[in-house]
């Protein structure tokens, strides 16, 4: 039965080939006695590429080209006669003469285009289409896997597409300049205005050309990547190469997973795009492109200006420089650039250097590179040379090596946190002095403020202590509350408050909190958090607060607790719930948070009716928001915080359904008995706990990543991850997600209440990232920074997930009852605390 259907399939393929190309069976070579005429095609031996004559869309002309043979969208990757089309297809022919000249011709017009005249005469030439898309000419019988036998290859003459294994750049020995030039239009593959080429002047870099005007440039190769393309390092599916020696300067990439089909294209409108083929959806997806931002044009901020795409206005001057034309700059036109405040004084050797961090290096066309020089030697050399305006390391790997020195104007530098590096700009002594004293006076001011503040604080402390003692005497019931006033700014990263602002923290009595919550009345109760009940409160000024009372189990002392809370209250991020302050009353501890009316994510996600309010865009925004908030906790805040209890009920939603992580300070506040990596008390919610944490009490940022992964899959599927060791893995969310994923049915996981309005790619990418996060081994799981990157990038760079933790433990859980693993109950969503005997 099966044999038969395979045979039928083969037959139908053969028939269709015969039907499409009636005059010949597909072959992969052209020899003198067998020219190729339209509509025949050559097909590479593993059937990946095809070569033949094709008409572009809306054109009556025919061109000889190479396209993907096995892809449903006709995609041309190379054109032989882009400037000289064949007008009558019925006589279009590709032939190779006995001496090896390859020509495209149409008989009755007797015009022909010589594609190539080989450098050495061949006695028995053959032209062959290889599996990698390279069309080569060689002596018949020589080894077509050895590139030394090619007397000519299409890879040396790219059109607009760079395939894996093709080189973009110079071969000096053969005088080849391999560059990509976009088509004129969809219907005309002739050379358009835009070219991507290797600029070998100074320190080589890729650059756009439109005629003789240079546009975007990649910046020099830093050892890991082109400095202007920092994303490169996160693309694990590709290998990137940059070779710069006497014979060659080129850029090349290969794919590490041969099933990934990708191409880099210079498109007709002046954008470089990297595409990857998505077989599932049957389309090319743009994985990366450039130019992206206003800073990607050439020198938008002129000489000595620097561009920051995340700033507004984008232009500023390098330190020690001022706008040349302040009027233009005021009108947001920075192209005029900047000028020195003070002229250099080279003769007296008084000049010095100012460090500029995270700088995407200025244009390197006029630089001098010496790979054997240290940074110190580099500095000396620059100082000795009166036209030198700055220097930097040529290779940033291993702490930096090599020396680049700039002569003349510093053009087209930009701020790039990911791709930038330290740059040292030459300044006159007086400018340096001013800059240094400015930064010092800032520090001094800071110090002065701190001094004043400490005195005031001390005073305050004495007064409040006195008041405290007095009140304690008077009523025997005391409290000390600290409440910081939220500010209304909604920057993603609000700079942490400086010491002096703590002064503004008003002190509140417990009475106030009691009044605000109606004496902790039942009506005001919002719910039960992991550590105690939560109440809604309303301050006198109308501000609503959430009041969280902590059960009296904390082991922290009062001051420790207060300090901890004050530290955490300073953490500010759009995706974290603001902790406003705390109250300490004897053993009782109370935390005061901003109140978010939309309650928590689980109230929406797992509710049949309300879940329909979460369309895919909202869910995706929620996922992104949580990822950013968590990244901030893990990395970007002043101290590393591991949440340890990330779950849907700890994600609160504001009016606009923006997610805010709550309870993020609890791990720290309750952190008395833990070393860096181990805890005796396991705090958390199962379903969200990583294997290593639940079993061994080992936690790290990666246990949070696990919880995040579970949360992500819950958001996509709208179902809770219940239990851990269930007999049917399909009842266990991670198991179900994994099984659907490996079967290729990932989309079946999607919550039906989302409807059909979603991007399949995005959903599949999210499922993939979710699965990556819940992998069994912490070291396999990505960090939150790569999660954030992966969420923003396209699919192909994301590694394949391995089996989630817990999933395959079925047999182990059922069979091995002697194991010492802790007992879990199922179906409960409350945070629990558990002691592991050791
Ligand atoms: C072909 O040309 C027609 C009319 O000029 C236009 O509407 C159509 O979009 C073109 N098709 C393609 C594929 O470019
Ligand atoms: C052609 O593509 C189909 C669909 O992706 C795939 O199943 C098949 O193996 C491919 N054939 C070859 C020869 O690559
Ligand atoms: C022509 O245009 C159609 C529709 O836009 C597209 O599917 C097809 O691949 C194009 N063909 C070529 C040769 O570009
Ligand atoms: C194209 O060539 C065929 C055969 O050689 C000929 O019959 C036909 O008239 C030609 N068409 C044009 C437009 O020249
Ligand atoms: C073919 O090659 C020979 C040298 O091998 C050269 O003299 C001749 O001009 C070439 N013909 C064409 C049409 O390019
Ligand atoms: C021959 O081909 C060229 C283009 O290659 C065309 O301009 C010319 O009109 C054609 N001549 C004849 C007689 O068909
Ligand atoms: C065909 O060969 C190329 C180059 O060796 C390889 O990358 C590709 O995966 C192969 N394709 C198939 C379908 O075997
Ligand atoms: C030939 O292939 C080798 C190994 O793949 C490579 O190192 C070399 O650069 C290639 N030479 C040319 C001219 O493409
Ligand atoms: C691109 O390559 C072609 C052929 O080698 C050369 O003539 C042209 O000048 C190159 N363009 C640029 C911008 O390097
Ligand atoms: C070129 O790429 C840009 C960016 O991806 C895209 O917006 C534009 O439509 C592309 N142009 C063409 C003609 O495909
Ligand atoms: C530099 O040297 C010149 C004489 O060559 C002198 O007049 C000038 O004051 C010196 N400047 C500084 C800043 O020392
Ligand atoms: C490089 O040097 C040339 C000649 O001195 C000059 O015209 C050009 O503006 C310089 N380019 C940059 C980017 O400094």
- Closest to 660 in 3D by CA, of 575, 570, 784: 575
Alpha-carbon distance of 596 to 556, in angstroms, equals 28
* Domain termination site, one of 437, 455, 470: 437
Query: Three-class SS string for 400-452?
Result: CECEEEEECCCCCEEECCCCCEEEEEEECHHHHHHHHHHHHHHHHHHHHHHHH
Cβ neighbourhood burial of 16 (10 Å; 0-12, 13-18, 19+): exposed
Number of the ligand closest to the Cα of 134: 7
Pair 596, 604: CB distance under 8 Å: no
Residue 622 belongs to some domain of the structure: yes
Q: Which of 196, 273, 284 to mutate to test the pocket of ligand 10 (most atoms within 8 A of CB)?
A: 273
What is the mean pLDDT of the segment spanning 178-191?
94
Q: Long-range contacts of range 273-282, CB-CB < 8 Å, 24 or more positions apart?
A: 276/794, 276/795, 276/796, 277/71, 278/761, 278/795, 280/744, 280/760, 280/764, 281/760, 281/761, 282/72, 282/73
Structure confidence at residue 132 (pLDDT) = 93
Number of the ligand closest to the Cα of 55: 3
Cα–Cα distances (Å) from 67 to 78, 129, 134, 734, in that order, read 7, 11, 11, 41
Pair 722, 827: CB distance under 8 Å: yes
Per-residue confidence band for 812, with pLDDT thresholds at 50, 70 and 90 = very low
- Whichever domain contains 512, its CATH number is 3.30.200.20
- Closest to 453 in 3D by CA, of 406, 493, 503, 412: 503
Together in a domain, 208 and 151: no
Residue 476 belongs to some domain of the structure: no
What is the mean pLDDT of the segment spanning 748-754?
88
Structure confidence at residue 672 (pLDDT) = 37
Cβ neighbourhood burial of 131 (10 Å; 0-12, 13-18, 19+): middle
Residue 454 belongs to some domain of the structure: no
pLDDT greater at residue 838 or residue 558: 558
> What is the three-class DSSP state of 150?
strand
Please name the residue whose Cα sits nearest to atom 1 of ligand 11. Answer: 348
User: Out of 284-293, 428-437, 527-536, 808-817, which region has the weakest mean confidence (pLDDT)?
Assistant: 808-817
In short, whether 401's Cβ falls inside 6 Å of ligand 10 is no
Structure confidence at residue 272 (pLDDT) = 94
Cβ neighbourhood burial of 3 (10 Å; 0-12, 13-18, 19+): exposed
In short, whether 725's Cβ falls inside 6 Å of ligand 9 is no
In short, whether 20's Cβ falls inside 6 Å of ligand 10 is no
In short, whether 742's Cβ falls inside 6 Å of ligand 5 is no
Structural domain count, the chain: 5
In short, whether 57's Cβ falls inside 6 Å of ligand 1 is yes
Together in a domain, 659 and 788: yes
In short, whether 83's Cβ falls inside 6 Å of ligand 5 is no
Together in a domain, 396 and 539: no
Together in a domain, 666 and 758: yes
Alpha-carbon distance of 93 to 86, in angstroms, equals 9
H/E element, 255: strand 248-255
In short, whether 249's Cβ falls inside 6 Å of ligand 9 is no
Which structural domain, as residue segments, surrounds residue 394?
295-437
Q: How far is the CA of 335 from the centre of ligand 12 (A)?
A: 16
Structure confidence at residue 444 (pLDDT) = 73
Atom of ligand 3 minimally distant from the CA of 57: 1
Most confident of 98-107, 309-318, 403-412: 403-412
* Domain termination site, one of 594, 625, 650: 594
Together in a domain, 709 and 609: yes
Instruction: Please give the positions annotated as active site.
Output: 645
Atom of ligand 12 minimally distant from the CA of 299: 13
Residue 453 belongs to some domain of the structure: no
CB atoms within 10 A of CB 714: 24
Together in a domain, 303 and 321: yes
SS3 content of the chain, % helix, strand, coil (to 5): 30, 30, 40
Please name the residue whose Cα sits nearest to atom 14 of ligand 6. Answer: 109
In short, whether 268's Cβ falls inside 6 Å of ligand 10 is yes
Structure confidence at residue 553 (pLDDT) = 55
- Whichever domain contains 745, its CATH number is 1.10.510.10
Q: How far is the CA of 408 from the centre of ligand 12 (A)?
A: 7
Together in a domain, 570 and 583: yes
Alpha-carbon distance of 519 to 511, in angstroms, equals 9
Structure confidence at residue 83 (pLDDT) = 86
- Whichever domain contains 132, its CATH number is 2.90.10.10
Structure confidence at residue 339 (pLDDT) = 93
Mean pLDDT, the chain, integer: 79
H/E element, 764: helix 760-773
> What is the three-class DSSP state of 838?
coil
Please name the residue whose Cα sits nearest to atom 2 of ligand 2. Answer: 70
Residue 442 belongs to some domain of the structure: no
Atom of ligand 11 minimally distant from the CA of 348: 1
For residue 475 the two structure tokens come to: 């009523």
- Closest to 43 in 3D by CA, of 20, 11, 63: 20
Structure confidence at residue 816 (pLDDT) = 33
Atom of ligand 2 minimally distant from the CA of 48: 14
Residue 478 belongs to some domain of the structure: no
Please, which residues bridge with residue 684 across strands? Answer: 832
In short, whether 269's Cβ falls inside 6 Å of ligand 1 is no
Together in a domain, 387 and 511: no
DSSP designation for 508: E
Q: How far is the CA of 284 from the centre of ligand 1 (A)?
A: 20
Structure confidence at residue 567 (pLDDT) = 72
Per-residue confidence band for 220, with pLDDT thresholds at 50, 70 and 90 = very high
Pair 733, 722: CB distance under 8 Å: yes
Number of the ligand closest to the Cα of 248: 8
In short, whether 89's Cβ falls inside 6 Å of ligand 5 is no
Residue 481 belongs to some domain of the structure: no
Per-residue confidence band for 670, with pLDDT thresholds at 50, 70 and 90 = low
Please, which residues bridge with residue 1 across strands? Answer: none
Please name the residue whose Cα sits nearest to atom 8 of ligand 7. Answer: 258
What is the mean pLDDT of the segment spanning 472-490?
42
Number of the ligand closest to the Cα of 269: 10
Q: How far is the CA of 148 from the centre of ligand 8 (A)?
A: 8
What is the mean pLDDT of the segment spanning 507-514?
68
Q: How far is the CA of 761 from the centre of ligand 7 (A)?
A: 25
Residue 141 belongs to some domain of the structure: yes
Cα–Cα distances (Å) from 448 to 402, 452, 652, in that order, read 42, 6, 40
User: Out of 316-320, 474-478, 591-595, which region has the weakest mean confidence (pLDDT)?
Assistant: 474-478
In short, whether 273's Cβ falls inside 6 Å of ligand 10 is yes
Together in a domain, 341 and 411: yes
In short, whether 109's Cβ falls inside 6 Å of ligand 6 is yes
- Closest to 217 in 3D by CA, of 231, 203, 237: 203
- Closest to 252 in 3D by CA, of 331, 162, 326: 162
Together in a domain, 753 and 628: yes
Number of the ligand closest to the Cα of 85: 6
Together in a domain, 45 and 100: yes
In short, whether 185's Cβ falls inside 6 Å of ligand 10 is no
Pocket of ligand 12 (CB under 6 A): 363, 365-366, 408-409, 411
pLDDT digits (tens, 9 = 90+) for 602-617: 888 888 888 888 889 8
Q: How far is the CA of 38 from the centre of ligand 4 (A)?
A: 13
Is the confidence at residue 563, as pLDDT, over 80? Answer: no
Q: Strand 135-139: give its sheet, edge to edge.
A: 29-30, 125-129, 135-139, 150-153
Please name the residue whose Cα sits nearest to atom 7 of ligand 3. Answer: 73
Q: Which of 46, 50, 262 to mutate to test the pocket of ligand 7 (most atoms within 8 A of CB)?
A: 46
* Domain termination site, one of 260, 292, 324: 292
Pair 218, 229: CB distance under 8 Å: yes
Q: How far is the CA of 533 from the centre of ligand 11 (A)?
A: 74
Q: Which of 54, 55, 57 to mutate to test the pocket of ligand 1 (most atoms within 8 A of CB)?
A: 57
Is the confidence at residue 534, as pLDDT, over 60? Answer: yes
pLDDT greater at residue 801 or residue 724: 801
Most confident of 233-237, 315-319, 395-399: 315-319
Structure confidence at residue 388 (pLDDT) = 94
Q: How far is the CA of 794 from the centre of ligand 1 (A)?
A: 29
Q: How far is the CA of 187 from the centre of ligand 1 (A)?
A: 9
Together in a domain, 744 and 785: yes
Give the rounded percent of residues in the chain with a pLDDT score beyond 70.
Answer: 80
In short, whether 114's Cβ falls inside 6 Å of ligand 5 is yes
């Amino acid at each position: 039965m099966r044999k038969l259907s395979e045979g039928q399939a083969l037959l139908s393929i053969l028939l269709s080939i015969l039907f499409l190309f009636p005059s010949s069976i597909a072959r992969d070579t052209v020899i003198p006695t067998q020219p190729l005429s339209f509509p025949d095609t050559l097909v590479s031996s593993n059937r990946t590429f095809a070569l033949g004559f094709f008409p572009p869309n809306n054109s009556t002309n025919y061109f000889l080209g190479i396209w993907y043979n096995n892809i449903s969208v006709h995609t041309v990757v190379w054109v032989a006669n882009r400037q000289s089309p064949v007008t009558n297809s019925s006589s279009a022919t590709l032939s190779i003469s006995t001496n090896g000249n390859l020509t495209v011709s149409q008989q009755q017009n007797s015009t022909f285009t010589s594609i190539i005249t080989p450098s050495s005469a061949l006695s028995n030439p053959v032209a062959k289409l290889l599996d990698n898309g390279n069309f080569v000419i060689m002596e018949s019988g020589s080894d077509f896997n050895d590139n030394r036998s090619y007397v000519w290859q299409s890879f040396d003459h790219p059109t607009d597409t760079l395939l894996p294994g093709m080189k973009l750049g110079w071969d000096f020995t053969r005088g080849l300049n391999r560059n990509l030039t976009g088509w004129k239009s969809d219907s005309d593959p002739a050379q358009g205005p835009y070219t991507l080429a290797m600029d070998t002047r100074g320190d080589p870099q890729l650059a756009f050309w439109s005629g003789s005007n240079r546009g975007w440039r990649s910046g020099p190769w830093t050892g890991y990547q082109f400095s202007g393309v920092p994303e490169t390092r996160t693309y694990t599916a590709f290998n990137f190469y940059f070779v710069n020696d006497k014979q060659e300067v080129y850029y090349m990439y290969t794919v590490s997973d041969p099933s990934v089909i990708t191409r880099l294209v210079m498109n007709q409108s002046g954008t470089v795009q990297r595409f990857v083929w998505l077989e599932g959806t049957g389309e090319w997806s743009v994985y990366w492109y450039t130019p992206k931002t206003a800073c990607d044009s050439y020198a938008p901020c002129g000489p000595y200006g620097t561009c920051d795409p995340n700033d507004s206005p984008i232009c500023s001057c390098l330190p020690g420089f001022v706008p040349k034309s302040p009027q233009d700059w005021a009108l947001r036109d920075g192209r005029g650039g900047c000028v020195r405040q003070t002229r250099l004084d080279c003769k007296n050797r008084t000049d010095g250097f100012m460090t500029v961090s995270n700088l995407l290096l200025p244009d390197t066309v006029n630089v001098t590179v010496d790979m054997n020089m240290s940074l110190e030697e580099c500095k000396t050399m620059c100082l000795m040379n009166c036209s030198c305006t700055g220097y930097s390391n040529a290779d940033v790997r291993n702490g930096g090596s090599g020396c680049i020195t700039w002569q003349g104007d510093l053009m087209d530098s930009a701020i790039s946190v990911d791709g930038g590096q330290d740059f040292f700009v030459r300044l006159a002594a007086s400018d340096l002095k001013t800059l240094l004293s400015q930064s010092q006076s800032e520090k001094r001011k800071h110090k002065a403020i701190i001094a004043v503040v400490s005195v005031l604080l001390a005073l305050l402390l004495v007064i409040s202590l006195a008041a405290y003692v007095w009140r304690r005497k008077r009523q025997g019931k005391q409290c000390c509350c600290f409440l910081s006033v939220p500010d209304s700014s909604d920057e993603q990263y609000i700079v942490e408050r400086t010491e002096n602002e703590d002064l503004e923290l008003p002190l509140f009595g417990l009475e106030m909190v009691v009044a605000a919550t109606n004496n902790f009345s039942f009506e005001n109760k919002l719910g039960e958090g992991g550590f105690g009940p939560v109440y809604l409160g309303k301050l006198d000024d109308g501000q609503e607060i959430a009041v969280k009372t902590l059960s009296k189990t904390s082991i922290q002392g009062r001051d420790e607790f207060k300090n901890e809370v004050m530290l955490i209250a300073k953490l500010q991020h759009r995706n974290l719930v603001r902790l406003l302050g705390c109250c300490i009353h004897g053993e009782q501890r109370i935390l005061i948070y901003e109140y978010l009316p939309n309650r928590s994510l689980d109230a929406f996600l797992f509710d049949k009716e309300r879940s329909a309010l979460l369309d895919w865009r909202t869910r995706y925004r929620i996922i992104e928001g949580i990822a950013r908030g968590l990244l901030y906790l893990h990395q970007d805040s002043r101290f590393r915080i591991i949440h340890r209890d990330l779950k849907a009920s700890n994600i609160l939603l504001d009016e606009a359904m923006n997610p805010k992580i709550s309870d993020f300070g609890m791990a720290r506040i309750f952190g008395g008995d833990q070393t860096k990596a181990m805890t005796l008390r396991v705090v958390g919610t199962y379903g969200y706990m990583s294997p290593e944490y639940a079993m061994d009490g080992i936690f790290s940022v990666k246990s949070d990543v696990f919880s995040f992964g579970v949360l992500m899959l819950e958001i996509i599927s709208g179902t809770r991850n219940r239990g851990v060791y269930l007999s049917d893995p399909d009842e266990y969310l991670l198991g179900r997600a994994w099984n659907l994923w490996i079967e290729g049915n990932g989309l079946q996981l999607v919550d039906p209440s989302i409807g059909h309005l979603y991007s399949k790619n995005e959903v599949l990418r999210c499922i993939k990232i979710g699965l990556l996060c819940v992998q069994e081994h912490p070291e396999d799981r990505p960090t939150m920074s790569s999660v954030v990157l992966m969420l923003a990038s396209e699919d192909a760079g994301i590694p394949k997930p391995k089996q989630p933790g817990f999933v395959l433990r079925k047999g182990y859980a059922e069979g091995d009852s002697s194991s010492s693993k802790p007992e879990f109950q199922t179906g409960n969503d409350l945070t629990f605390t558990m002691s592991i005997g050791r």
